[in-house]
Amino acid sequence: MRNSRNIELIDLIMCLSDAMDFIDPAVVDHHKQVAYIAYNIGAELGLSLKELRQLILAGSLHDIGAFSLRERRDALAFELSDPHGHARKGYALLRLFEPLSEIASMVRFHHVRWYKGAGRKFRGLDVPFFSHIIHLSDRIAVLLYKKKEILGQVSGITRTIRGKSGSMFEPSLVDVFLRVAAREYFWLDLSAPSMRTVLSQRLRSAHLGIGSRDMLGFSELFSRIIDFKSPFTATHSSGVAATAEFLAGKAGFTKKECIDIRIAGHMHDLGKLAVPVEILDKPARLNRREFNVVRHHSFYTYRILQSIAPLQTINTWAALHHERLDGTGYPFHLKKRDLPLGSQIMAVADVFTALTEDRPYRAGMKQSGAIKLLDTMSFRSALNGELVAELRQHYEEADVIRRRAQSSARMKYRDIAAAGAEGR
């Protein structure tokens, strides 16, 4: 595996925004469109490369706090009734990862209206000017109809935006947008796959490389974003990551590999970002369709992470966690000989955590029950028997490590939930 130092921040951010936008056809490419519009407005304003990069990152992540499909769909309406809850949650999440703290503040205020200048502040706090750029870009993006020819929509969109200059939007930004809007290429990129290329070229030239230590921090942010969608999964990835790291140590992985498997644990359920919370949270039995949608998730994890070459070993360890040694898993139906030990560890860690963690509707299983189930799965050659034996032998140690990781995640989860509810 190449050193994780070669990973570009933008590639990771694109993975996140892709995963978030897979949730529904109505929001596909939304984050990218907002990033692209903001970038163009910023370029027309003459902003520096560093500032343009920040706009792209903020645009690519701005709705990260909108956890449910309902929140995502609601945010597509031009006038919103309560837009700030998801913005505050997004802020609270992004702030957890220091390199994104400036972006976090832009996201926090991305629905603040200009109100003839009163929008420079919001509830006594300074609103970054870039939040107004994201706000305008976001509202332009929601006016687009994906199913209609794009150039025919331009006059209607510009009329609507011009009509809100000064009230909803900062007037000089509206003027800048109107200049950009006069060029066809702007709209054509916005509705074509070329948009992605333009964005990553702009950012890639910046070489915002991520070192191994940051990669662990970033993967932790991934785990929060994935897990905090639902109280049912709120601490799951943290538990899996800690258990996987523990098992990897027992299996003789090097220190570096142990960190990598922890990173993989944080990201293994990345594809769950594409599963509506309405399904994850459903208190009753899932119907056939819902069950199928849940089964998409590990496939999405795989395909999304596949785009980052230096993450391929981590991807294999992460995304194959529902494969089983006897070929009964999904989505590839691989068998033991095709499954790296890291993937086998992840499968055991995932089952162990799922059985033992507390959920809102039930307490976690006790030792005897959990071991019994793990044993059954290893007897029928679904899980690696040696790894299960390690867990049986060091049960208490593993369980304490898992619990500790999950309770620290639980505290963060409470903070984020409180941020969403505050000031309503």
Contact footprint for Fe ion (CB under 5 A) = 63, 75, 138, 269
DSSP state of 106: H
Read off the amino acid at residue 315. N
Nearest to 402 by CA among 359, 353, 330: 353
The H or E element that residue 17 is part of is: helix 9-21
Q: In whole angstroms, how close is the CB of 34 to Fe ion at the nearest point?
A: 6
Give CA–CA dist 3/129, Å, rounded: 37
Closest separation in Å from C-beta 33 to Fe ion? 9
Q: Measured from the CB of residue 190, what is the shortest distance to Fe ion in angstroms? A: 14
90: its two tokens: 């997004």
Q: Toward Fe ion, which CB reaches closer, 63 or 170?
A: 63
Tell me the closest approach of the beta carbon of residue 27 to Fe ion, in angstroms.
8
Among residues 8 and 227, whose Cβ is nearest to Fe ion?
227
Nearer to Fe ion among residue 75 and residue 334 (C-beta): 75
CA dihedral 372, 377, 381, 385 (to 10 degrees): -50
Nearer to Fe ion, 210 or 325 (CB): 325
Number of H helices and E strands in the chain, helices first, is 22, 4
Query: Shortest gap between Cβ of 38 and Fe ion (angstroms)?
Result: 11
**CB 49 → Fe ion: shortest distance, Å?**
24
Smaller CB separation from Fe ion, 210 or 268: 268
Kind plus residue range of the DSSP H or E element containing 210: strand 209-210
The nearer residue to Fe ion, 214 or 268, going by C-beta atoms, is 268
H or E stretch at 180: helix 171-181
Q: Tell me the residue type at 67.
A: F
Residue for token digits 């949730």?
23
DSSP 337: G
